Amino acid sequence: MSIVQLGIVERSKDTTMFSSFVSLVHESKRCMVAVEQYLKPELASQIKRLDLRAQMIVRGFLQGMHASPYHGFSVEFSEHRRYAHGDDPKDIDWLAYAKTDKYYVKKFESETNVTGYMVMDLSQSMGYTYRQQLTKFDYCICLAAALSYLMLMQKDPIGLVTFDKKIRASIPPRSRRGQFSAILSLLSKLKTAGETELRAPILQLAAMLRHRSLVMLMSDLLADVQPTLDSIRMLRHAGHDVIVFHVLDEAEVTFPFDGLVQLTDPESGQSLSVNADDIGQEYRENIRKFRQELKQGFNESRIDYVPLDTSMPYDKAITEYLLSRRNRF
């Protein structure tokens, strides 16, 4: 089933943007990935207008897609400085010399692309859904699709890393068009399994990343708070820009159960019989505290923390986040 058949094309008003999206889709056809399953055309058109910028200066190795208003290549004017002995004479701003009769050197900052990594938790718990509609992992795929689309639209290379106890699968960052379909293709094939373990895979990831990158971690983070924070902070300390998408199931946030229930942990297999009525309130409080602790911990390390649950429309959630991030930088 194609997007045209679904009638999405007719609904899209920005046909230029959408054409690039369609081309991406076509490229992914050979992988038989239903892109529309993860990225709605409305969302694609909506986020097209946004960007995802790294919050720090990165030394990219490819040119960015943005046009520079200054001379030079991928260089952005920074400041004028008096010429000093030893400076490259070719950097002298002769126009300034003509005006002032003094030698000034033009300083430039290079503007480059940023490499994005989507790091996705593939533990068993990510495959959980209470309403039997969208698992946390599905939700993350949707997020990943949107973000990948955005990055690729910015000509930024985007890669994928999935992990449970260790890194399970990865796609190196690329900015070519086929990367989108490659990512979605891989994601659609992956099955959640195993226990959540952040430290080892993140250590492994940190070793993998040679340049400062934009790491977008998507996980339910169902582990102890402090080791989680410590692990993710390692990435931050390595100079990477980290965004944590903390995705929980709706039921994990609202605890909608009542009466006697026997809860079973899909990862460890442990079960617990409780009266949901008695513990509901306290559970919700625990979750709130858990999120609060994570938020506080990440904020201290200047890590973006985006708490999400599967009841939240991901398109809205991602749009709001991107807007807020753009406003910040």
Partner 1 sequence: MTFLHASLLIGGLVALAPILLHMLGRRQPKPITFPAIRFVRQTAITAQRGWSIKRWLLLALRVLMVVLLALALSSPRVHSNMFATYVMVGLIGILAMLATAVALTAYGSRRGWQTTAIAAAIALLLWAVSGTWFGMAVSGGQSVALPSASGPISAAIVIDTSPTMGYRYHNVTRLDAAKEMASWLMDRLPAGSQIAIVNNDIGVRLNQDRISANRQLDRTIVEGKATSLIQRISASIDVLRKSELERREIYVLTDLSLPAWREADTSDLPTKLARNEEGKGIAGENILVQIIDVSVPVAEIRNWSLGNFKLSQQSTTPGSQVTISADVQSAKGSGDSPPLTVELFAETVDRSLLDRAGKIVVPESRRVHTQSVSVPDGGSLPIQMTLTELVEGTNHAELRLAFPDPLECDNIVYFSVEARPQGQTLVISDDEVDRRTVGFAIDPPPTEAPSIQNKKESDQESKPIAAMYRLGSTADLEGMGTEDLARFSSIVLFDPGNMKADSIDLLERWVEQGGGLMIILASSFDSAEALMEGSIAKLLPGRVKSLSSRPIKDRSVSMAPSISKHPIWLPFERPIEDIPWFQYAVFRHWNIEGLDDRSIVLMRLTGTEPVLIEQVRKQGRILTWTFPYPEPNKHTREQIWSQLYVNDEWPGFELLHSSIRYLAAWNKQQLNYFVDEPAVLENNISQFPQLYKMYSPQSEETRVESSDESLVYTFTRHAGQYRLKGLLPQGPVVRGFSVNVDRKDVSLERILPSGLDKAIGKDLYRIAKDREEVQSSLGEGRYGRDLSPFLLMVFVMMIMAEQTMSSRFYAQTKSRGA
Binding-site string for partner 1 from residue 50 to residue 89, where x marks contact by CB under 8 A and - marks none? ----------------------------------------
* Residue 196 Cβ vs partner 1, minimum distance, rounded to whole Å: 9
Strands 115-121 and 158-163: parallel
Q: Do the Cβ atoms of 304 and 325 come closer than 8 Å?
A: yes
Under the criterion CB under 8 A, does residue 251 sit at the interface with partner 1? yes
Per-residue tokens: 227? 């080791």
Other Cβ atoms less than 10 A from the Cβ of 56: the count is: 13
37 or 129: whose CB is closer to partner 1? Answer: 129
Half-sphere CA count of 90, side-chain side, radius 13 A: 1
Under the criterion CB under 8 A, does residue 93 sit at the interface with partner 1? no
Binding-site string for partner 1 from residue 5 to residue 44, where x marks contact by CB under 8 A and - marks none? ----------------------------------------
Other Cβ atoms less than 10 A from the Cβ of 131: the count is: 11
Under the criterion CB under 8 A, does residue 282 sit at the interface with partner 1? yes
57 or 272: whose CB is closer to partner 1? Answer: 272
Residue of 93, 156, 241, 252 that binds partner 1 (CB under 8 A): 252
- CA-to-CA distance for 29 and 315, rounded, in angstroms? 23
261 or 312: whose CB is closer to partner 1? Answer: 261
DSSP H or E run through 196: none
Binding-site string for partner 1 from residue 103 to residue 142, where x marks contact by CB under 8 A and - marks none? ---------------------xx--x--------------
Residue of 99, 260, 299, 323 that binds partner 1 (CB under 8 A): 260
Residues near 189 by beta carbon (within 8 Å), at least 6 away in sequence: none
As beta bridge partners, residue 63 has 112
Half-sphere CA count of 294, side-chain side, radius 13 A: 26
- What is the footprint of partner 1 within residues 183-222 (CB under 8 A)? 220, 222
Residue of 23, 286, 292, 324 that binds partner 1 (CB under 8 A): 286
Amino acid at 302: R
Phi and psi based region of residue 135 (left: phi greater than 0; alpha: psi -120 to 50; beta: remaining): beta
Residues that bind partner 1 (CB under 8 A): 124-125, 128, 220, 222, 248-249, 251-252, 257-268, 270-279, 282-283, 286-287, 290
